[in-house]
Amino acid sequence: MATPNSARSPPGFPVGRIAGWQFLATVAIAAIGGWWAGLHGALSALLGGLVNITAGVVYAVVVGLRRAPTAGDTVRTMIRAEAAKITLIVLQLWLVLTTYRDVVPAALFAAFVVTVLVWTAAIVIRD
């Protein structure tokens, strides 16, 4: 028997779809970076995109770990998830910028910014 629309759970955040779009955007920026600056441009763009993709996955995992029974619990969970995401972004960017000597900053940050914009666009997407 079909479940009526009112009994279904609300649509979730489509994290898999968004991560896929972020990956496609990262590959496109990497192709441009490779054409513009060679192998290091492409690799820098891939790293810039992966920083945000992994941070988004961590955000989704932290949010999904706990079902918040109240609005206050929901806000606390989202703040924890956002803090984890920002911390991971800062650590990963620091790691890339300090260990990869041939990084192409323009490609790295272009891919990072594009993947941030793709994540932000998730607000208008329904599951």
Residue 41 lies in a domain: yes
Residue 21 lies in a domain: yes
Please give the pLDDT value at position 123: 63
Residue 64 lies in a domain: yes
Residue 6 lies in a domain: no
Residue 101 lies in a domain: yes
SS3 state of residue 42: helix
| CA–CA separation, 24 and 55 (whole Å) | 16
Residue 83 lies in a domain: yes
Q: pLDDT digits over 52-84, tens only? A: 999 989 998 998 888 878 888 889 999 999 999
Residue 51 lies in a domain: yes
Query: How many domains are contained in the chain?
Result: 1
pLDDT at 4 over 60: no
Q: pLDDT digits over 11-24, tens only? A: 555 777 888 889 99
Q: At what angle do helices 105-121 and 71-99 cross, to 10 degrees?
A: 160
Domain extent, residue 117, equals 13-124
Closest to 115 (Cα-Cα) out of 4, 12, 19, 37: 19
Per the document, the length of the chain is 127
